[in-house]
Structure 1
Amino acid sequence: MSGLYPSLKDVTIVATAFKLLLLPAYKSTDFEVHRNWLALTHSLPVQKWYYENTSEWTLDYPPFFAAFEWCMSHVAKYFDPRMLEVQNLGYDSFNTVLFQRLSVIVTELVMVYALHRLVANSPEFTKRSAHAIALSILLSPGLLIIDHIHFQYNGFMYGILLLSLLVAKSSPLLSGILFAALLCFKHIYLYLAPAYFIYLLRAYCLGPNFSIWPPNPAIQFFNSLKLGVSIITIFATAFAPFVWWGQIPQLLSRLFPFARGLCHAYWAPNIWAMYSFMDRCLILIAPKLGLAINQAALSSGTRGLVGNTSFAVLPDITPRVTFVLTLLFMALPLVKLFMHPTYENFLGSVTLCAFSSFLFGWHVHEKAILLIIFPFSLLALNSRHHLSSFRPLAVAGHVSLFPLLFTPAEFPIKTVYTVLWLIVFLYTFDKLAPSGGVNEYRRWLMDRPATLFVIVAIPLVTYCSLIHGLVFGDRLGFMPLMFMSSYSAVGVVASWVWLMGVYLSN
């Protein structure tokens, strides 16, 4: 492997230097969100953390992340103690910006360690592929956009997720412990919990002699006991104090704000984005088709507002519908995982559970696309079929994040960086992916649609980011967002359909 790729250490150093140059870049409301969380966890007793509402950006992450903010606040006070004043809303002194940017870079070292483990523990014949995958994740445009410019701490938490996935084969108990801890940092990872539950049940708690018929549960008692005690201990550590104070209803109301509408303000590229786009198109032809139009819905969530989402022509979608669809499409890979609890099936199930929750979930955020991309990255070089499914996801997923950075200064950064990443890593993956008996004709059929999808992205991004504003000014501001989201949704859905077919057929 020496000489073929730069080392993970060298790339980490160069990437860190580049991220330091982004210190003065655009920062979203998430920057103030986390500054506020630093302040309230530092200044208030724990009992008041989930009640404090001086800022509209109230604490809505689980207790471990709140404790994480509390720990960071004790370092932040040496940079600028004024950032830790709860009443000091919108405070963004240079030292505050410096600390928060540096905190993302430093905590991302958890992910760097996980990627080191990925390469170091890979068999010799797969080290080149593992190294390419590790570099693709480390240099992910998604992390650059979301964490280092827009501002969040996904690198830190995805590092824990990757560690959990990587040790699942050799140490299911440790994998379960890491994942339980991760859930106490950010509850979005609940989307992956069904795959973990099935895998740990079959691979760790039930013996190799398990069978449905003739019935033989083959329960491994001590394994089940160790796993159960470990997970209960982690959740008790996180939530027991709030149970003692009678604050669980308040905490849950913060973690699960179900009053929000079906679609986020900027539609995540999923089934509901396509559904919403279809509804907007039907408005134009509904009179000719004799279809009724719900006039009240013309200014609802289908136009990008957060709140109750109503559709003008198509039937409204309820939370129950999204829940049923999510479980239905999760069930397909989970049944296979239960019957064949291999490590590769586990990674496939985790990825497909992430797909199902993203595509059919209620009020999905566009940033959750990384929940699919990173687990899928571990599978992308397993075969030519996997890579053919991964390619449209990589393009659509990263392009869908562009609207998060809407200021002119960041346009060249996000576009040039993402294009370079796609060229370098999709080309590298193409050279490393085993053909697995795929002939040239079948390869052509698999790869050409993905290539066409990539080509369409170029004029689309140009129009949405540049031309629309020049032509329409401030008018029709949601139109480019709708185009970008709907286009990206096609790629994500296509990737999901292809991967589901590959997974179920193997």
Structure 2
Amino acid sequence: MKMFTQVMLIVSAVKMFFIPLYRSTDFEVHRNWLAVTHSLSMDRWYFDETSEWTLDYPPFFAWLEYALSHVAKFFDPGMLELENLNYGSQMTVLFQRLSVIFLDFLFIVSARRVSNLVSRGKLLAFLLLMSNPGLLMIDHIHFQYNGFLFGFLLYSIESMISGSHISAAIWFAVLLNFKHIFLYVAPAYAVYLLRAYCFTVSSNDGTHTAWYSFSISNLFKLGFAVISIFCLSFGPFIDQLPQVFSRLFPFKRGLCHAYWAPNFWAVYNFADKVLQYVCKRLDINVASGTAAMTGGLVQEFDHAVLPTITPGVTFVLTALSMIPALVKLWHLGADRRYRCINFIRCLVLCATCSFVFGWHVHEKAILLIIIPLSFLSVLGEDDGKSFLVLSTVGHYSLFPLLFHRNLLPIKVLIFLTHVAIAYGNIPQLYETHYKAKYGKKRQFLSLPMLGRIESLYLYGLMVVFLYDNVLHAAWGLDKTLPFLPLMLTSVYCSIGVLYFWLTYYYYFLTFNLSKVPIFTPSTSIYEKKEK
């Protein structure tokens, strides 16, 4: 208990030091939302266009901003005036920074609860979650509210593991009504809750056959719980639903975000630029005027050589890529110990499929994969290995968000601290099995638990870092090709993300239930639920 408290206090103290640092436009976004919800009547929240940063989160988040605004007025009432665009007084900065730190306690408590379900490595699981460099960089420097949202997700996962399916569904429904990006993992929830709560399977030991029985009452209870949350959220805006949904799903923002997320479309865009260059060298006429996709702008554009991608294409690819994992999740059997841990694995895969193929994916969405995978990393060797690869690549891909030079030492320090914690402790959990499988000596240049090719790829991040921070400017390319370092980072990191997606998908589809390390919570949890 003492160690958990010390970790919490140290990480919270570190967040305090970040208060005066650089903040992105998201700071003004949330300040404006404070002003909108405080100064206007509810029926005007989703219509106001005083600022370009219009309210585009679900209603629960709007109500959160409304509640925070009543505290904010004691710090500086000026931040609540709609006309005070780009307002950033010292008290405004202090309040908004402290609001993120305060809400993070939901994440801390949920991380503690879910870590307590682990039979070994519970402190490591908690430490990996608490020291996540992505949350530190995005929430406490760049500025957003993600920590408490992941707190809801971890609460939902903890409830699912404990067998409280209705509680898990409620937590997740609440989460969706705070931030709809978590729709990425909704298919995993839908399939698992239907299979585990609304269907039961029985087997005949003599014939090895199985049959399903369906519970109408359980389906009704599940539907009532989820629908009630959505009615509570959207009910007050029933007359404005078209306007609300137009804000929540702005499909005209283009295929990629300003900072390319390291996914399939980053590779696709890069391939299109290479083909465009080759075609010009060969005097083949191709479309020009496509520089927007390499200019860091958020807008629609047409590819020069490859087919232009529409939102419908990304939706179909995302759905198709999820289907094998969802089918596997449905057929995982009746043993809840196996089902609950593989639900989380399927959740990770659904998040990855959405990240890899989704429309206008934000680079920050990588945390939706890394956070649950942090918990899985102490539960199985393959999970731990996959976490080492993805957390390294995924967190490094967030570096361009903090582009100011004076932030370079800070982001490197928090990144390397997390890397040291992960690589120094996760392999020790599986040391006996790893040595029996691969021998005592690792390959030359290989990192713990990783092969030589994987290790060399991760070492390549140092080359990318060197070019981005030293060579690009030294060679005088920062004026002529300003987007090149960002494109290089996105494309290089996308290779690691795609590698993780393919290998982890293969693992999930082919693992042997009798051999894979499974979740082993304390006996008291199962005794309480099974009685």
TM-score, normalising length: structure 1: 0.93
| Gaps in structure 1 of 5+ consecutive residues | none
One-letter amino acid of the structure 2 residue matched with residue 8 of structure 1: F
1:296 is paired with a residue of what secondary structure? coil
Report the alpha carbon displacement of residue 312 of structure 1 after superposing the two structures with TM.
1.8
> Quick one: distance in 2 between partners of 1:209 and 1:483?
53
Shift of 1:401: 0.4
Code of the aligned partner of 2:214: I
Counterparts of 2:281 and 2:483 in 1: how far apart (Å)? Answer: 25
Return the match for 1:331 from 323, 326, 332. Answer: 323
Deviations 1:171-202 (A, max 9, x none): 11110110000000000000100000000001
Counterpart residue number, 1:239: 234
Determine if contact 2:203/2:209 at 8 Å carries over to the other structure.
no
Matches within 5 A, 1:2-17: 7-17=3-13
Q: What is the rounded CA distance, in whole Å, between the counterparts of 1:133 and 1:13 in structure 2?
A: 17
Provide the rounded CA distance (Å) in 1 between the counterparts of 2:432 and 2:147. Answer: 32
Amino acid at match of 2:128: S
Hey, what's the Cα distance between the residues in 1 that align with 2:375 and 2:442? 21
Do residues 166 (structure 1) and 170 (structure 2) align? no
1:118 aligns with 2:114: yes
Shift of 1:131: 1.6
8 Å CA contact 1:460, 1:484 repeated in 2: yes
Equivalent residues in 2 for 1:366-377 (5 A)? 366-377=363-374
Partner Cα separation in structure 2 for residue 434 and residue 395 of structure 1 = 21
Structure 1 position 288, deviation (Å):
5.0
Aligned residue identity for 2:438 = E
Q: CA deviation at 1:313?
A: 1.9
Matched, 1:387 2:384: yes
- Structure 2 residue corresponding to 1:468, chosen from 446, 462, 472: 472
SS in 2 for 1:439: helix
State the Cα distance separating 1:214 from its structure 2 match: 8.3
Q: Secondary structure at the match of 1:218?
A: strand
1:142 alignment counterpart: 134
- Give me the whole-angstrom Cα distance separating, in 2, the residues matched to 1:292 and 1:492: 34
Which secondary structure does the structure 2 equivalent of 1:121 belong to?
coil
Q: 3-state SS of the aligned residue for 2:201?
A: coil
Q: Are 1:205 and 2:198 counterparts?
A: yes
Q: Write out aligned runs for 1:279-298 (5 A).
A: 279-288=272-281, 291-297=284-290
**Quick check: 1:382–1:434 contact (8 Å CA) kept in 2?**
no
2:90 counterpart of 1:98: no
Whole-Å Cα distance in 2 between the matches of residues 18 and 233 of structure 1? 39
Q: Give 1:403 deviation, angstroms.
A: 0.5
Asked whether the equivalents of residues 255 and 359 of structure 2 are also in contact (C-alpha less than 8 Å), the reply is yes
**Residue-by-residue CA offset, 1:423-456 (whole Å, 9 max, x unaligned):** 2222211111366576117986943223212211
Contact 2:201 2:210 in 1 (8 A): no
Work out whether 1:82 is the aligned partner of 2:78.
Answer: yes
Q: What's 1:362 paired with?
A: 359
- TM-score (norm: length of structure 2): 0.89
Q: Which amino acid aligns with 2:347?
A: V
Instruction: Output the amino acid matched with 1:157.
Output: L
Q: 1:223 aligns with which of 207, 215, 218?
A: 218
Following superposition, the deviation at residue 279 of structure 1 comes to 1.6
The question of whether the paired residues in 2 share the 8 Å contact of 1:270 and 1:359 is answered with yes
Matches within 5 A, 1:185-196: 185-196=178-189
Is the contact between residue 202 and residue 210 of structure 2 (CA under 8 Å) also seen in structure 1?
no
The percentage of counterpart residues that share the same residue type is 45
Residue identity matched to 1:250 = Q
Could you list the runs of 5+ residues in structure 2 that have no partner in the other structure? 334-338, 512-531
Give the partner amino acid of 2:461: A
CA deviations 1:16-56 (Å, max 9, x no partner) are: 11111111100000000000001111111110000011000
Kept after mapping to 2: 8 A contact 1:119/1:134: yes
The AA in structure 2 aligned to 1:494 is Y
CA distance in 2, matches of 1:502, 1:375: 17
Preserved contact between residue 129 and residue 375 of structure 2 (Cα < 8 Å) = no
Q: Does the CA contact (< 8 Å) of 1:80 and 1:96 recur in 2?
A: yes
Distance 1:187 1:43 in 2: 25
Instruction: Give the distance between the partners of 2:374 and 2:134, measured in 1 at CA.
Output: 13
User: Which is further off, 90-99 or 470-479?
Assistant: 470-479
Q: Counterparts of 1:412 and 1:470 in 2: how far apart (Å)?
A: 19
**Which residue does the alignment assign to 2:304?**
312
In the TM superposition, 1:446-485 aligns within 5 A as: 446-472=450-476, 473-485=478-490
Letter in 2 for 1:448: R
Alignment correspondent of 1:57 = 53
> What is aligned with 2:506?
501
Contact kept, 8 Å, 1:263 with 1:302, in 2: the verdict is: no
Cα distance in structure 1, aligned partners of 2:209 and 2:416: 55
Q: Deviations over 1:131-158 (max 9, x none)?
A: 2121111111101110000000100100
Tell me if the contact between 1:301 and 1:309 (Cα under 8 Å) persists in the aligned partners.
Answer: yes
- AA aligned to 1:143 is L
Residue in structure 2 matched with residue 433 of structure 1 by the alignment: 430
Whole-Å separation in 1 of the counterparts to 2:229 and 2:212: 27
Are residues 166 and 139 of structure 1, via their aligned partners in 2, closer, same or farther at CA, if it must alter by over 3 Å? same
Q: Deviations over 1:57-86 (max 9, x none)?
A: 000000000001111111111111110111
The alpha carbon displacement at 1:395 in A equals 1.1
Cα offset for 1:217?
4.5
Measure how far apart 1:290 and its partner are. 6.4
Matched, 1:486 2:496: no
Q: What SS does structure 1 have at the residue aligned with 2:312? A: helix
Query: For the structure 1 residues 456 and 272, does the alpha-carbon distance in structure 2 shift closer, same or farther, using more than 3 Å as the test?
Result: same
Kindly indicate whether the alpha-carbon contact (under 8 Å) linking 1:403 and 1:481 is maintained by their aligned counterparts in 2. Answer: yes
Q: Secondary structure at the match of 1:207?
A: strand
Provide the C-alpha distance between the structure 2 equivalents of 1:42 and 1:50, rounded to a whole number of angstroms.
13
- Contact persistence 1:388–1:450 (CA under 8 A): no
Q: Quick one: which of 19, 22, 26 aligns to 1:26? A: 22
Higher mean C-alpha deviation, range 221-230 or range 478-487: 221-230
Per-residue CA distance 1:381-413 (angstroms, 9 max, x = gap):
333222222222111111110000011111110
**Cα root mean square deviation, aligned:** 2.1
CA contact (8 A) 2:177 2:233 kept: yes
Q: 1:260: which partner in 2?
A: 253
